[in-house]
Structure 1
């Protein structure tokens, strides 16, 4: 085993080695990674940056209002309504309330996270420009 490895180290290449192409997966992964595209991306407008949290906030608000409507419907309905329907409303109302509130909170938390990432990106570009100014002379 050791004899073969010494022979390979001295310059002998196996026939399988000649057939293999050099791997470029590391460079491909670095180029296509999210971190590279985030740092090198062109500036975008506010809608492109904040559209996902705004959509989540809107959907969460709509679901929350729907939950409020269903919950209030159970309070104001007469006893003439079938018992099964009233029980279904009693169960679904709070479920929609909690789901809507959860989506609203997720959207509200997401916005400061995006702002923080934008500030970090600006600092990164500023530091890169200073670094290139001093080291490229």
Structure 2
């Protein structure tokens, strides 16, 4: 078996975000926001599960502990807020990066 020194990865730049100057369709202006959007979606799902557990427990359908429901709700809301705070930070970082490259 012949072993070559080539890797099968297309990009070894180490960057997780695509280069906005590359001109590809994937490298849109919103491409760097995928992580906070995922965090907000997962947080909203967790908060919804906590709310659902509260409703099911209060109606007597399930014997779920109230502390589990409140933990899911509070952790989910924490992730939603974290994602909402993360987006302006990333936008400011992109603006400063564009400004420093242009100057």
TM-score of the superposed pair, with normalisation by structure 2: 0.71
User: Which structure dedicates a bigger proportion of its chain to helix?
Assistant: 1
Alignment match, 1:50 = 33
Structure with larger Rg: 1
Secondary structure, in 3 states, of the residue corresponding to 2:65? helix
From the superposition, tell whether residues 76 and 119 of structure 1 become closer, same or farther in structure 2 (CA, over 3 Å): same
Is 1:126 the equivalent of 2:102? yes
| Structure-to-structure mapping, 1:58-73, within 5 angstroms | 58-73=41-56
| Structure-to-structure mapping, 1:1-137, within 5 angstroms | 42-43=19-20, 44-77=27-60, 86=63, 88-127=64-103
Which segments of 5 or more consecutive residues in structure 1 lack a partner in the other structure?
1-33, 79-84, 128-137
TM-score of the superposed pair, with normalisation by structure 1: 0.54
Runs of 4 or more off by more than 6 Å in structure 1?
A: none
Aligned-pair CA distance for 1:42:
2.8
Secondary structure, in 3 states, of the residue corresponding to 2:19? coil
Q: Distance in 1 between matches of 2:54 and 2:97?
A: 45
Aligned-pair CA distance for 1:46:
3.3
